[in-house]
Each structure stands twice: as C-alpha cells, then as structure tokens.
A and B are shown apart, each in its own frame.
Chain A
C-alpha cells in the first residue's frame, strides 16, 4: 500500500471513529443520560487521599451504598462551608475502611459511619472484597495512574458514553440475558436510570427512575433476589457479634485518641426491606449496641420527624430531594444536639 492509500485509510478511520462516537453521544443524551464518573477504585482513591484535611475543614463518610446516595454533598458544602470526603462503597462492609483509617496515624478528622445492618454486621469475604480492592489501589497507585485520573476526569465530565457500568461493551453484552446453568451466580444488572456518580463520589438517583415504577420494581426485585440468597444465613450474634463490636470499638478508640470524632448514622430504608432489616437486626440488639460499645453518638432516621417517614423509591436509597432533607437534618442534629462544630 502506498503512502497515499495509507493516509486515506488513516483519514477514513478518523472519520468513522468520530462519526460513531458523536452519534453515540447524541443518542445517549437524547434518552436522558448525563456524564457521570465511574465510582470505582480510581475515584475512591482520589477521595481517600483527601482525609488528611483538618477536622474543622472536612468530614469523612464511610459505609455502603446508602451513605453514597443519602448524603447530598452540595447541600453539606453550602450549609457548613466545609468539604465532604465520601468513602462509601456500594454493597460492602465499612469495616476494612474503618480499620484502615484507624490505623492511619495521620487521620485525625470527623468520621461518620453508616450502619446498613446486613453489611455492617457481616464478616463475609464478599462484603470486604471491594473495600480491600480500593485500599490496595490507593496504596499502590502510581504517578502515572494519578495523572491518568486527572485526564480521565476531564473526559468523563464531558462524555456520557464513558460509563463502564452501563454503556461499555460488556454492559451491552450482559443485556443479552443468556440463560445460565443451575447454581451459576450472575450479578444482576441495575438499570442505568438508577443512578450516576458525581465527581464528589455521590450517587444520584436519576429523576426518570423516581418517576418510573417499572424501573423501581426491577431494582426491588434485585433486593428480593439478594434477600432470598441470604435467607438461610442467620444474622450475626453471640461471640461473633461481640468480636465484631470489639473491632469497631478498638478502631473508634484509636481515632478518638488522636483527637478525631466518630459518629454513627442509620440512613433510611422503607417497605419490606425495612421490615426485613428490623426482623433480622432488632435495633436494641444491633444499632444501639454499637453506640453503647463505642460510646459514640448516633442518628437513627426513625428518631426524627423529618426523616422517619421517608420513602425510598426502591426501598433502600433516597432520591436526591430526600437526600437534601436527610443531609440538612443530619447537620442540624450534629450541630444542635451533638455539639459538633460544623
């Protein structure tokens, strides 16, 4: 092939790629997709590196997906004038991150820990996998990876199609829903409308999800599937629970001994999900024991008029308007009732 033909091939390649990407982006925007950030190890590590700000400037949140959805970061920033470091990781126990922060002598800040009972009171390796992966990435990340993150940030903030979870090749292939052999576990697929992540690592439920009950039912079915999978598991109790509470206390004490503050919160859930949680993990035997063992204060959503009747569209997470309300109430409780200087 002569130089001229090679140049024509290069040009054709560029034209096809450009047209395909632009068309794809336009199509996604038309159906309401907005640019979001991949809430994976890379974004998480960027936030993890921010925990060292003085405690009068930043509050760190850890937990699972509920804290991810339920803390509205712009609201927090506006109301307090301070930063939020969101370290919640979906579907996981906060224990590895709590231990990591407790063992980090440079962390001396405000820490708020969400209690989603099924995940908090668990030692299942599966629930530790993602936090441990995130912590490993944070520890091992190279200068090149940090630089790539900065470039990626610019691209992800502009292009909706850059969403691995929902619009990558594997995400589309998963939509084929091929029948699996018996006993083969396959992660369910959440509808893309369920949520997107902001650069602050806040999960935000799309308005289209809030208004579409079919989509909500789809996600509720996923929770039901998980509940069915775990129906034979007996909630942690006895010595196992004592041991876990001891680990929490040791970590909390370490943070407090360095001048840090630790606070627990029970974010809202509703419907059958809440009923199941109340049956499996009665408040007095679990949530209250955490507070009693650690000597920390907490905020249970059922204790406050503005939050106790919150309805989660898919039973487990708040939509953004409710997240704003919950965040404001949390700030009020911390300031007015618990004496935090926010």
Chain B
C-alpha cells in the first residue's frame, strides 16, 4: 500500500479510529501490528512470510545473543542472524545480478554457460527492514541496548507501517521504548502530523510526479545523443524528483506516526543546501548514513587506524552503500563517486587544518558546487547502463555537438522553476525544521499554505505511482 492512494486514506482513517477507541494498550498494539501486516500484504501477501521469518529469527537470536557469555556461541548466533537476514536480501535483491556477473565472468574465460533468466520478484522494502533487524541483533551482540521484552513489541518495531517499506530506518532505542507505554497523539500532534502527511504527499505527487518525472524520464529513457540543455534539465529534474519522492515519503511516514502518537527520526535535512559531502550525507537519507557509519564504517576501523585505512574504510562504506541502493554496477559507481568526493573533501580539510588558511569562498557558492557535483552522481544512479551514463555526461559537458532536443519548452520551465525554488528554499531552511517554522506563522497564513498544497495535490490528479525508493 502506498501513502498516495485512496486505499491508504481509508486504511488510515480506520487505523486512527481504532487507535483512539478505549481499548487496552496491548489491544491497540495488536491493532497496529495487524494494520501493518495488512499495509504490507496489500502489495503482495506471500512476502509477509519473509517478514515473519526475519522477525522471529531476530527476536529469539537477539535475546540469546544478549545473555550468551560464551564468545564462540555468541559468534555462532550472530552468524545465524546475519545469514538469515542477508541471505534473503542477497537472494531476492542480488540473485539475478550475481548470476549475470557470474555468467559474464565464465563467458570471458571461454565457458559457454547461458542459464535461464531467473524471475525473482523483489519484496517491497526488504533492504529497509533487513537493516532494521540487523542493527537489532548487532546491538544485542554488542550489548548496546537491552533486548525487547515481548515479541509483540519487537514485531511492531520491525513492521510498524509508517517506516516499514521505505524508512526512516529506525534503531531499537528510537522506537521500542515508545511501545512500552500507552501513546496517544495530542490534538497538536494530530494536526501537525496531518500537515506533514499533506506536505509529504505534495512533494511526492505534485513536485516529483506531476512536475519533474516527465522531463527526467524523457531524458533517461532516450536512446539518442542529447543536446546539452536537455541533458542538464533531465538530470536536474531527476535530482529534484528523487529528493521530493524520497523526502516526501519520509515526511509522510513521520506525519502518519505523529498522528498515532509516535516519533520517527528525521531522514532529510535540506541536502541540496549541504556545504560539502560530509554535510550532504548528514542531510540526505540520514538514517541510512548513520546506519552505515555505525554498523559498517566504524566496525571497519573508522578513522582510528591512520589516514590510509580511513580513506579505505570510507570508500568501502560508500561502495556498499551504493550497492544497497540497487543490484547494478551503476549504483556502485554512484557510491564510489561519492566516496571519491569525500576523499577529496577530507584531503582538502586536512590540508587546510595544517596550514590554517581561512576560507574566502562564500558558503552559498560551496553549496552550489556541492549541488553541481551531486548532480553528476545522479547520472549513474538513474542511468540503466554505463554507456547511457557516459552518453548523458558527454551531452551535459558539451561533447555531443549534434545532440537532439527532446524536452518541450514547458518541461524546461517546470524543471527550471521547481529546481531553482527547491535550492533556494533548502538554503533558507537549512538550519530549521518545518515544524519550527509553523509557530512563527499566523494561523491564517498556515491554513492558507496548507489549503494551497492540498488543492495542488488534488488538481495534479496523479494516481498512485510508486515511490522510487520502494525498488531499493
């Protein structure tokens, strides 16, 4: 089920009613859990089994890990959990990719091996809930938090529908304590939650789907050399589309959870106003960046073992982060490019520290330079092949003198207006949250802005297209 659908509207109304009836807290949690399973099963009921399997394994293995003192047994338990979670992820998400690469490799060595293409369906949100359950077992292994007492609370932690399919990726301490005592949203929370839900839908439906997707698709689905203007507009359109799509989903999730009395972590903080790449990753998909930092970069050694290993760890983290997004080498290249940017940034910062040179470059220009370089990385993220990515990059940098114009003037205007507006808005808001701004508005201004967003949402009439991050 997706937030931008009529089914969700009806579903959410029913959930809200049930959550506000005078049931016991345990009954309300059971209602939320059942609702979460329905939310997931409305997409494909069979894959509920994977969720159950993941939940059961990690609940019991997590408990055993926490109390187990024998190091060897503890390691075995951790391996059981890692195999359980990662095997499912690898099979469903990377099965075809691995087979393709294996075939390419053996063919390169002259072996005539051409197996049938496996028809593996990717279960929605598997990358997200695998990371959610993985961090629980790793925390239990390291005794970083106490095990969840009841299977009900743990199941709800894994399955809670606002974050289930596309994050934010929650950690046990962020959500589990909220299930321990009765939560009921205040009137303020409900109104603010509904506003965030409207804002998230506005970002997804109006800006990503209605305004930007056409230009992005036209450019990235084109098989011909493109004019420079078209290539740039297509990439900028995708840059806006992916932000509004994913940040829109996260905003909806936070809003929906707030209406039920729960708080989910922020996942986006105006990433296109980032000054540099460390800053970008503190603002883009924050919960994934934090996960990769805490469960990959730091265990690899982080920055504790000298410069060379710091750089190596950074690159490994970014390459695997890229691969997490999709089973294609282009995603790895996307991660690798970000890793390279982080290297360069780190080298510059280290050198600057040593020489203590003051920075004369205005922050806004640095933010624009960051935005420019981030756009280059999106080419690899969106292009299906390296050949296509190469062709678009050549067009962007004027190396395709006879490139074709494919975008209409209207599409160019839409991209121009929305992307410029997006960058300015993110720059102005870079140190504030939306909910911090609302109290500074008069009630009529707030109500009018809300109405404007909802009317555009209805007027755009985009019906239920899926969120891009569902495929990851």
Contact = CB atoms under 8 A, between A and B. Distances in A.
Interface string B364-390: 000000000000000000000000000
Contact of B42 (A13, A144, A167, A186): A144
A307 B444 CA distance: 62
Given A9-B444, A9-B446, A174-B410, A1 B460 contact: no
Contacts, number: 134
Interface string A12-26: 110011001100000
A155 B5 CA distance: 13
Nearest to A182: B405
Given A7-B191, A17-B451, A178-B413, A148 B459 contact: no
B10 interface: yes
Contacts of A176: 410
Nearest to A147: B7
Band of interface residues on B: 35 or more
Contacts of A224: none
Contact of B43 (A21, A144, A148): A144
A168 B188 CA distance: 33
Interface in B420-472: 438-439, 441-444, 446-448, 450-451, 454-456, 458-464
Contacts of A168: 210, 459-462
User: Is chain A's interface secondary structure helix, strand, loop, or mixed overall?
Assistant: helix
A181 interface: yes
A65 to B, nearest CB: 21
Given A144-B7, A184-B405, A184-B406, A12 B451 contact: yes
B438 A1 contact: yes
Contacts of B458: 17, 21
Interface of B: 1-2, 5-10, 41-45, 186-188, 191-192, 194, 206, 210, 404-410, 413-414, 438-439, 441-444, 446-448, 450-451, 454-456, 458-464
The 5 closest A-B CB pairs, nearest first, are A12-B447, A144-B42, A16-B451, A9-B447, A151-B6
Interface of A: 1, 3, 5-13, 16-17, 20-21, 38, 40, 42, 142-145, 147-148, 151-152, 155, 162-164, 167-170, 173-174, 176, 178-184, 186
Given A13-B448, A16-B447, A142-B44, 7 more contacts: A5-B446, A10-B191, A17-B451, A147-B42, A148-B6, A180-B409, A183-B404
25 contacts: A1-B438, A1-B443, A3-B186, A6-B187, A9-B443, A12-B447, A13-B450, A13-B454, A17-B454, A17-B455, A20-B455, A21-B455, A144-B1, A144-B5, A144-B42, A145-B5, A145-B464, A163-B461, A169-B206, A169-B456, A173-B410, A174-B410, A178-B413, A181-B409, A186-B410
